[in-house]
Amino acid sequence: MTDVALDVDRVIAMPRRGRDSKTTLKRIGFWLLIVVIAVYLLFPFYWAVVSSLKAESQLQMTPATFIPRSPVDNSIAITFQNYQAVFQNEKFLRGLINSVIVAVTVTAFALVIGSFAAFALGKLRFRGKTPSLYVILSMTMFPQVAVLTGLYAVIRALNMPAIPSMILSYMLFTLPFTVWVLTAFFQALPDDLMQSAEVDGATPFQVFRMILLPLTLPALVTTGLLAFIAAWNEYLFALTFTTIEPNARTVPVAIALFTGEISRQEPFGEIMAAAVLVTIPLVVLVLIFQKKIIGGLTAGAVKG
Amino acid sequence: MAVATEPDAEARTKKVRGGNLLKQEQRLAYWLLLPTLLILLLIAFYPLGSVFYASFTDRAFASAREPQFVGLQNYSELLSMKIRELPAQIDPATGEELTDPETGETIYARPLDILPREPRRYKEAFQLGLFGNRYVVGATDPDFVLSIWDTLLFTFSTIALETLIGLGIALTLNSKFRGRGTMRAVMLVPWAIPTAVSSRMWEWMFGSTRTGFFNVVFQRLGLGDGQIPFLAQESWQLPAMIAIDVWKTTPFMALLLLAGLGLIPGELYEAANVDGASKWKQFTSITLPLLKPTLAVALVFRTLDALRVFDLFQIVLAQKKYSMASFAYYQLIDSQKMGYSSAASVVIFVIITIFAVIYIRLLRVTDD
């Protein structure tokens, strides 16, 4: 308490000019902090972009330069040869196609199946609702690696190709999350909406399809985005299930196992170019939908 | 309930219809839940059960041999540990303890000679000095024991750093300023990058010569000779992993905390300002207590996530150092030891469950 009083005394006693310079100093400090945070968060990405624009000889320069410079006369020299190489890399391109197929299908399935379950859990009355909710909540924390061997055995036993296996197994982390977030949204919709429609003779499923579903569209967009990003970024299952089927590799696996067509050492310039290419669509997606994504990420956590 | 307010006669017919409706509703609910539950049964509960079962067998992949039931053998091989004191080597000529002629340090017996070899061979996991004595901890599978230890160390360090840095970022961004939206978008960048991709970006930055960013910076700061093998040298491996993970996941933490800060009513701070409370006092008596529920949830999410870390370790360190998950992966894919890998998975599952239960208990206490 005493130092509180001291602080107040100091503020009151301070002459006007001194106070101004203090706030200016504070503002400078604040903006400095903002810059430090931004640099910290963006620098690795910047470094990847810079490296992707360097030729092999520039990548071998010591010390590494912060902008692509020519090893001969130190002038700025940018090359796009890494990008050209990546666009001619069949494994990478196939990875992109595989990733799009997997992520889009997973998102669609998770949303359709998930919204069914969420509607039941959020708006319908039935026995066993609480246990079902608990099962699904516990599934959102489920460690994927715990079922890795079992799931791999199931897939090998069913003789399932890698792409459908990935789609099926990605439900493990997209479906419970989708159900959980959408249930909260359905619960938040007013009950009279459903009751009045039922009085008018609509079946519960009609209420769901024609009234509630359109209202939850924003929530569907949010959860769909998060499911898409999670599926796009998944690595453990993709790596395991494509061990014997390299053609089905998704982009994260392709980048992790990236080898150059010609050079024997790891072609980091090309890897960085591939990394930048994969990241840019995600960054654009995130910038467009940032409010929705943040809302979705924090929805489960903050209501507490 | 809505029915009760209706006039009597109508209410009765309603009630009958209501009963039918309720049944209809219940049936619909089960149908709607069915696909979700079936899928989870197929990809979560059944595999989990089969992992438990396989962990008691010596099942191997791509082998025609019938798997044999081996009881707890996989577990005892994974987890058996012995601790032995390492005696100093005695000079046979003088009868005195041998010391290194250059450093003057005592030379100890080789762990290999001290650790038991029968019935099973124990290999050195790590050594520790205690009260002037030296001990060696041996394990039948040092890789797994070390992977548990490293994963726990990784988890505690990343969570602690992430919480501190995340809180700092959240408090900074919580004030109103121009460009706040942009900063929030910037925070999503590390989160949105696939871990596989960010792992390779950082692998490149951690290069072992001055082509790598960190060696350039370290050398400029006068630390090291610009040839630090960050990813090859044991003592640098874990710190490097922690640095990468903190960068990748701190924004998530900061976003959660930022949302939590947004829920604290501004009047509280206004009142505190009127009362003349210092900023620090406001932080400890308003911000922290009210942020506790959010902080707790964020900690749960992040801890359970960090314990199952895989991408980062597998991509950057491969088999140089394992996390629990990457150990299980290599046992399955490289060694084709399905039973053994399953037992490791069960141990991971149990460890994560213990953490989850502890957290749920703690959360309940804070809720009350």
Q: What is the mean pLDDT of residues A178-207?
A: 82
B15 band by pLDDT with thresholds 50, 70 and 90: low
Q: Which residue has the tokens 């024997």?
A: A264
CB-based contact, B82 to chain A, within 8 Å: no
A7 band by pLDDT with thresholds 50, 70 and 90: very low
Q: What is the pLDDT of residues B265-305, one digit of tens each?
A: 888 888 888 888 888 888 888 888 888 888 888 888 889 88
What is residue B368's predicted lDDT score, i.e. its pLDDT?
Answer: 44
- Name every chain A residue with its beta carbon within 8 A of the beta carbon of B183: 34, 37-38
Is B310 in contact with B318 (CB distance < 8 Å)?
no
User: Does the beta-carbon distance from B197 to A252 stay under 8 Å?
Assistant: yes
Which among B56, B123, B143 is positioned nearest to B331, based on CA atoms? B143
What is residue A47's predicted lDDT score, i.e. its pLDDT?
Answer: 92
C-alpha distance from B229 to closest chain A C-alpha (Å): 15
Is A96 in contact with A157 (CB distance < 8 Å)?
no
- Name every chain B residue with its beta carbon within 8 A of the beta carbon of A290: 181, 184-185, 188
CB-based contact, B307 to chain A, within 8 Å: yes
- Name every chain B residue with its beta carbon within 8 A of the beta carbon of A135: 40
Nearest CB neighbour to B188, from listed A203, A271, A290:
A290
What is residue A203's predicted lDDT score, i.e. its pLDDT?
Answer: 79
CB-based contact, B205 to chain A, within 8 Å: yes
Nearest CB neighbour to A48, from listed B201, B215, B332:
B201
User: Which tokens sit at B164?
Assistant: 């501190």
Residue A157 confidence (pLDDT) above 70: yes
pTM, two decimals, is: 0.85
- Angstrom distance (rounded) from CA A266 to CA B317: 15
- Angstrom distance (rounded) from CA B70 to CA B55: 9
- Name every chain B residue with its beta carbon within 8 A of the beta carbon of A232: 194
pLDDT more than 70, % of chain B = 92
Nearest CB neighbour to A4, from listed B186, B276, B307:
B276
- Angstrom distance (rounded) from CA B239 to CA B229: 12
Q: What is the pLDDT of residues A91-107, one digit of tens each?
A: 899 999 999 999 999 99
Looking at mean pLDDT, say which of A29-38, A183-192, B101-110, B288-297 comes out highest. Answer: A29-38
What is residue B365's predicted lDDT score, i.e. its pLDDT?
Answer: 56
Domain locations along chain B: 81-140, 143-367
Q: What is the mean pLDDT of residues A8-28?
A: 64
Domain locations along chain A: 2-81, 89-302
- Angstrom distance (rounded) from CA B321 to CA B330: 11
Angle (CA) B148-B152-B157 rounded to 5° is 150
CB-based contact, B277 to chain A, within 8 Å: yes
User: A53 phi and psi, to 5 degrees?
Assistant: -95, 5
User: Does the beta-carbon distance from B338 to A149 stay under 8 Å?
Assistant: yes
Residue ranges of B 309-368 with Cβ closer than 8 A to chain A: 310-311, 314-315, 324-325, 328-329, 332-333, 338, 341-342, 345-346, 348-349, 352, 356, 367
What is residue A262's predicted lDDT score, i.e. its pLDDT?
Answer: 57
Which among B82, B72, B73, B135 is positioned nearest to B109, based on CA atoms? B135
User: Which tokens sit at B145?
Assistant: 């024991």
A295: number of Cβ within 10 Å: 16
- Angstrom distance (rounded) from CA A70 to CA A54: 9
Residue A19 confidence (pLDDT) above 80: no
What is residue B20's predicted lDDT score, i.e. its pLDDT?
Answer: 75
What is residue A4's predicted lDDT score, i.e. its pLDDT?
Answer: 41
- Angstrom distance (rounded) from CA B210 to CA B233: 16
- Name every chain A residue with its beta carbon within 8 A of the beta carbon of B210: 62-64
Angle (CA) B336-B338-B340 rounded to 5° is 105
Q: What is the pLDDT of residues A161-184, one digit of tens each?
A: 999 999 999 999 999 989 988 888
C-alpha distance from A301 to closest chain B C-alpha (Å): 6
C-alpha distance from B236 to closest chain A C-alpha (Å): 19
**What is the rounded average pLDDT for all residues in chain B?**
85
CB-based contact, B43 to chain A, within 8 Å: yes
What is residue A8's predicted lDDT score, i.e. its pLDDT?
Answer: 43
B19: number of Cβ within 10 Å: 10
Q: What is the mean pLDDT of residues A121-126?
A: 88
Pairing of the two strands B133-139 and B81-86: antiparallel
CB-based contact, B21 to chain A, within 8 Å: yes
Which among B202, B363, B197 is positioned nearest to B295, based on CA atoms? B363
Range list of H helices, chain A: 2-13, 16-52, 56-59, 81-87, 90-123, 129-139, 148-158, 162-188, 191-199, 204-206, 213-215, 217-233, 236-241, 251-256, 268-288, 290-302
Q: In what order do the strands lie in the sheet with B133-139?
A: B81-86, B133-139, B123-130
Q: What is the mean pLDDT of residues A183-200?
A: 81
Does A297 or B210 have the greater pLDDT score?
B210
Residue of A nearest to B53 (CA): A150
User: Does the beta-carbon distance from A298 to B259 stay under 8 Å?
Assistant: yes
What CATH number should be reported for the domain whose range is B143-367? 1.10.3720.10
- Reply yes or no on domain A89-302 having CATH 1.10.3720.10: yes
What is residue B244's predicted lDDT score, i.e. its pLDDT?
Answer: 95
- Name every chain B residue with its beta carbon within 8 A of the beta carbon of A41: 186-187, 189-190, 247, 251
Which among B26, B152, B136 is positioned nearest to A132, based on CA atoms? B26
C-alpha distance from B116 to closest chain A C-alpha (Å): 32
User: Does the beta-carbon distance from A4 to B21 stay under 8 Å?
Assistant: no
- Angstrom distance (rounded) from CA A96 to CA B194: 13
Instruction: Provide DSSP, B54-110.
Output: HTTB---TT--SPPPB-TTHHHHHHH-EEEEEEPBPBPTTT-SBPB-TTT-PBPBPP
**What is the rounded average pLDDT for all residues in chain A?**
84
A200: number of Cβ within 10 Å: 9
What is residue B81's predicted lDDT score, i.e. its pLDDT?
Answer: 84
Nearest CB neighbour to B342, from listed A126, A142, A149:
A149
Best of B10, B13, B36, B282 to disrupt the A interface (most A CBs within 10 Å) is B36
Q: Which residue has the tokens 């199952």?
A: B308
A282 band by pLDDT with thresholds 50, 70 and 90: confident
The CA-based dihedral angle spanning residues A275, A278, A281, A287, taken in that order and rounded to the nearest 10 degrees: -40
Residue B311 confidence (pLDDT) above 50: yes
Which among A125, A7, A287 is positioned nearest to B29, based on CA atoms? A125
> Which segments within chain B are labelled E, that is strand?
81-86, 123-130, 133-139
Nearest CB neighbour to B294, from listed A121, A153, A301:
A301
User: Does the beta-carbon distance from B333 to A304 stay under 8 Å?
Assistant: no
Peptide bond just before A252 cis, omega within 30 deg? no
Distances from the Cα of B184 to the Cαs of A34, A201, B293, B366, in angstroms?
11, 47, 22, 29
- Name every chain A residue with its beta carbon within 8 A of the beta carbon of B329: 145, 148, 236, 239-240
Is B257 in contact with B293 (CB distance < 8 Å)?
no
Angle (CA) A176-A110-B184 rounded to 5° is 75
Q: What is the mean pLDDT of residues B23-47?
A: 91
Residues 6+ apart with CB under 8 A from B243: B202
Nearest CB neighbour to B192, from listed A113, A255, A286:
A286
C-alpha distance from A286 to closest chain B C-alpha (Å): 7
What is the complex's ipTM, to 2 decimals?
A: 0.84
- Angstrom distance (rounded) from CA B343 to CA B188: 37
A113 band by pLDDT with thresholds 50, 70 and 90: very high
Residues 6+ apart with CB under 8 A from B286: B264, B268, B269, B272
CB-based contact, B174 to chain A, within 8 Å: no
Using CB atoms within 10 Å of the CB of residue B238, give its burial: 0 to 12 exposed, 13 to 18 middle, 19+ buried.
Answer: middle
Which among B284, B248, B86 is positioned nearest to B154, based on CA atoms? B248
Cα dihedral sign, B118-B124-B126-B130: positive
B280: number of Cβ within 10 Å: 11
What is residue A199's predicted lDDT score, i.e. its pLDDT?
Answer: 79
Nearest CB neighbour to B32, from listed A47, A119, A136:
A119
CB-based contact, B293 to chain A, within 8 Å: yes
Residue B9 confidence (pLDDT) above 70: no
Q: Which residue has the tokens 């009950």?
A: A191
